[in-house]
Amino acid sequence: LNNPWPRSKGGSNAKLLPWLRTEGDQSLDKFYNETVAKAFLQFYEHTAQVVWNQFMDATWNYVTNITNKNREEMLHKDSERSQHILFQDPAVKRMLSKLQNIDKAALPQDELEEYNKLLAYMETTYSMAQVCLNEGPCLPMEPDLQEIMVTSRDQKELLWAWQGWRNAVGHQLRITFERYVQLSNKAAKLNGYKDMGALWRSKYEPDTLEQDLEQLFQELQPLYLKLHAYVRRLIDPREPIPAHLLGNMWAQSWVNILDLVLPFPKKPPEDITKIMKSQHWKPSKMFEEADMFFTSLGLLSTPPNFWKKSMMERPADGREVECHASAWDFYNGKDFRIKKCTEVTIEDLLSIFHRMGHIQYFLQYKNLSVIFRAGANPAFEEAVGSMITLSASSHKHLLNRGLLSHQHQDSEEEVNFLMGIALEKIAFIPFAYLMDLFRWKVFDGTIQKDVYNQEWWNLRLKYQGMCPPIPRTKDDFDPGAKFHISASVPYIRYFISLVLQFQLHEALCKALGHMGPLHRCVHSPRDILKLGSSKPWPEVLQKITGQTKVSTKALMTYFKPLLNWLVTENVQQGEILGWPDFSCTFAEKDTDKVTFMSLELGPDQTKFGQWVLLAISLVMFLVALLLARRLYSLEKRSLSQDTNAQDTGSRDSSAPETQPKAYFLGIAMETRLVAKRHWILLGLCLILTLYSISLTIRVFTQHYRKPPWMRAEWWSWD
């Protein structure tokens, strides 16, 4: 590489731009020179490919083999990458700040190193966290805890996994997150933004982004309310939906409880995962299937290196790896990879299609400048990947690939199919919105560190209508149990892409001449990928859809048959949309304390007291039975004595009267009197027995909502 710019020992770019040097307060415009600027950008282009490639290589090595050595190498290369866009001369930095956002590289060197180590610690804590059984192995998120949340219907097991994951990750990151916020905001301010939330939002260009997003959410909220009301009735109609019962660790997707909420249970969808396993699918075949799908649409095939270097399943050699699925561009125009711990399921197959959509984007814009090798905005790239899955999950495509056997869908099967998509897409709407809403409020100081967790659940209740299954405290940090928060990945892209994917899908279907419902359309997105970020995203959107703004109309059209059914169903069932009277429980310290007969006791003490009450009820019942048996004997004996007395009187009226005696509480008395007192005692016992049973049921229902003998786990031997 012929370097036209001299370098200094102090930094790779300290003397790269002599044309930018200023003296005193001279105007910056005076030193602008377009020819020199072009020469610099050309040099930057060549060096960026090298530096960014080295950083991506080091990061890949770390996340696919988590060791201290690989971590140090990644941090070193990250520092080099930051130095590549970090200029030491204050005047140069001041001018460049007008040209580009240098993100965390704006931090002083010591704080930059601290920030990088902090980010690596947060992500590593998440990736290596496990939840341990009392006597047995420790389980990681993927695949073990994820499998529990997806398949289990045992509420105790679901709660164990839900709570255990948050204890393993959230607690560890609580203090670290405070320092992360401080350094993030400092980096943002050095870039000219008021806080990190403002810097993140700047990627989308319009100043009205927050208002635009709120408008989108308000348009989408009625869809979510209809779905929420329907699902809530089938899960727990009296309360906010408990966050651990929806088939997902974060309750962002509800598709795994489709079997519980299927509109037409007599026409269940075919089990595609079961079909895949019966056909002996492997992770490699799943990737090949996705690649074949793209090439069948006239798109580019993945290069040979992709198949050699990608991590398609969890390594069998015992390495610690980060399993969160991701697509990687190594910025050399030929190295593209996916990292995923693949399981043979339909969910993972569609996830692969999504990731391969990212790879296709990389391939299409690989000849652009490094600066433009990205989506038109962060949401665009996600939208393209998700749009691909809309085509790949269509009945037509799955039928063609031998993963379905029914040739056609009737109207009821169509509603069932759309319910499955809605549990993935519509259920995601509020979660995708509130993730960054929470962090923006943290960054701007609206949410203080003492109420991180409480405000997190306030947002979850306000937007999702759900609560934690157990009381949470200020010492918990449940947001950190989500990868994108622990890894500092902005999330609003997913909310925007949720809407954008349907808008793009509809436009491409119309261009293809598709007639009929949108969920039956399969198309090719080739022409929208080549521009990368070389054009403003509204211009790219207009080129595809004829519109310059994100619109919810296509999403509404896609789900129209299902929405019509939900409206009818909710009206027939008398469902009330929303949750105005719901609230979540937050405890300050003793969250394990339970009220038992006006006493604050621990769970074990409460459980013991409940069993004592139940035992007393049983004892009283047995006493009543014994008394009844005793009364029967006394009555029989009394009748026998009367008969004998009459016989004796007729034979010898002059003989002295000697009545046999019976005993009551140790006192001898006539049998008739003993029987009378026993009747009184039996009545008291029966009253006490009924009162004791009523009290037992009341205590159990206050604590558990249902008595234990009415819950499924009561009858389980586990």
Q: 126 and 96, same structural domain?
A: no
Domain assignment present for residue 95? The answer is: yes
Tokens of 309: 């270097």
Are the CB atoms for 66 and 321 separated by under 8 Å? yes
In 85-154, where does DSSP find H-type helix? 90-99, 109-128, 146-151
Q: Which of 588, 590, 609 is nearest to 598 (CA)?
A: 609
Number of domains into which the chain is organized: 3
Domain boundary at 52, 77, 100, which?
Answer: 100
Q: 204 and 96, same structural domain?
A: no
Q: 670 and 569, same structural domain?
A: no
Instruction: Tell me: is residue 204 an annotated ligand-binding position.
Output: yes
Walk along the chain (718 residues) in steps of 10 and give the mean pLDDT of each run: 36 39 41 65 77 87 87 85 61 47 84 93 92 86 91 94 94 92 95 93 84 96 96 82 94 95 94 94 95 89 94 90 89 92 92 92 88 86 88 90 89 94 96 97 95 95 94 93 94 96 92 88 74 85 91 96 96 89 60 56 69 74 71 63 56 51 63 71 75 67 48 43
Predicted local confidence at residue 594, as pLDDT:
57
Q: In a 3-state reduction of DSSP, which class is residue 201?
A: helix
Q: What mean pLDDT is reported for the chain? A: 82
Please state, in angstroms and rounded to a whole number, the distance separating the CA atoms of residues 51 and 237.
Answer: 56
Domain assignment present for residue 714? The answer is: no
Token pair 């005696």 is found at 661
For β-strands 599-601 and 667-670, DSSP reports them as: unpaired
Tell me: cis bond preceding 479? Omega within 30 of 0 counts: no
pLDDT, one tens digit per residue, over 62-78 is 888 888 888 888 888 88
Domain assignment present for residue 592? The answer is: no
Q: 357 and 313, same structural domain?
A: yes
Question: Phi and psi (nearest 5°) for 432?
Answer: -60, -30
Q: 433 and 331, same structural domain?
A: yes
Helices and strands, counts by H and E, the chain:
25, 10
Domain assignment present for residue 381? The answer is: yes
Predicted local confidence at residue 171, as pLDDT:
86
Domain assignment present for residue 709? The answer is: no
DSSP string, 327-386: EEE-SSSS-EEEE----SSHHHHHHHHHHHHHHHHHHHTTTS-GGG-S-SSHHHHHHHHH
Q: 332 and 272, same structural domain?
A: yes
CATH classification of the domain holding 466: 1.10.1370.30
Whether pTM > 0.75 for this model: the answer is no
Predicted local confidence at residue 304, as pLDDT:
93
Are the CB atoms for 13 and 84 separated by under 8 Å? yes
Instruction: Tell me: is residue 382 an annotated ligand-binding position.
Output: yes
Are the CB atoms for 381 and 525 separated by under 8 Å? no
DSSP string, 542-559: HHHHS-SS--SHHHHHHT
Predicted local confidence at residue 80, as pLDDT:
79
Please state, in angstroms and rounded to a whole number, the distance separating the CA atoms of residues 476 and 168.
Answer: 11
Q: 424 and 320, same structural domain?
A: yes
Please state, in angstroms and rounded to a whole number, the distance separating the CA atoms of residues 208 and 201.
Answer: 10
Predicted local confidence at residue 3, as pLDDT:
40
Instruction: Tell me: is residue 358 an annotated ligand-binding position.
Output: yes
**Can you give the residue range of the structural domain that contains 52?**
34-100
Q: 227 and 164, same structural domain?
A: yes
Q: 144 and 62, same structural domain?
A: no
Please state, in angstroms and rounded to a whole number, the distance separating the CA atoms of residues 499 and 223.
Answer: 13
Domain boundary at 55, 76, 100, which?
Answer: 100
Domain assignment present for residue 191? The answer is: yes
Instruction: Tell me: is residue 493 an annotated ligand-binding position.
Output: yes
Are the CB atoms for 533 and 377 separated by under 8 Å? yes
Tokens of 58: 């080091």
Token pair 């509480």 is found at 665
Predicted local confidence at residue 68, as pLDDT:
85
Q: Rounded to the nearest 5 degrees, what angle is found at the Cα of 231, between the Cα atoms of 225 and 232?
A: 85
Instruction: Tell me: is residue 171 an annotated ligand-binding position.
Output: no
Q: 513 and 614, same structural domain?
A: no
Tokens of 257: 């409880």
Please compute Rg for the chain using Cα positions: 35
Domain boundary at 47, 71, 100, which?
Answer: 100
- Compute CA 530 distance to the chain's CA centroid, rounded to the nearest angstrom: 32
Domain assignment present for residue 590? The answer is: no
Please state, in angstroms and rounded to a whole number, the distance separating the CA atoms of residues 84 and 336.
Answer: 22
Predicted local confidence at residue 25, as pLDDT:
40
Q: 520 and 403, same structural domain?
A: yes
Predicted local confidence at residue 66, as pLDDT:
86
Domain assignment present for residue 412? The answer is: yes
Q: 135 and 71, same structural domain?
A: no
- Compute CA 208 distance to the chain's CA centroid, rounded to the nearest angstrom: 28
Percent of the chain scoring above 70 in pLDDT: 78
What Cα–Cα distance (Å) separates residue 677 from each residue in 48, 618, 674, 683?
Answer: 100, 23, 5, 10
Is residue 661 within a helix (H) or strand (E), and if so which, with residue range?
Answer: strand 661-664
For β-strands 594-596 and 466-467, DSSP reports them as: unpaired
Are the CB atoms for 319 and 70 separated by under 8 Å? no
